[in-house]
Amino acid sequence: MNQANHDPDDQLSTTECAVLAKVNRRTIVTWIRSGQLQASRLPGRRGHYRVKYADFNSLISKPATTDRDIE
């Protein structure tokens, strides 16, 4: 899946986000639950999320920080 092929309004699954970010799907869910990544829940499906590509791209485009960077 290529990032260049996405419209900002495209909806991504947590698995698609994980593949693009090269992280585990559970990391994406953690980002959603902690408020770092906006997502909407699918009706009738427990635990399934959709993430706007624009929101996902905004998060992964930020420089990585560590606790040391914040102090």
Q: CA nearest 54: which of 38, 68, 70? A: 38
Q: CA nearest 21: which of 31, 11, 34? A: 31
pLDDT per position as a tens digit, 10-28? 999 999 999 999 999 999 9
Look at residue 71 and tell me whether its pLDDT is greater than 50. Answer: no
Domain map of the chain by residue range? Answer: 3-63
Give the CA diameter of the chain. 42
Q: Provide the CATH topology of domain 3-63.
A: Multidrug-efflux Transporter Regulator; Chain: A; Domain 2 (1.10.1660)
* Rounded Cα–Cα distance for residues 62 and 16 (Å): 19
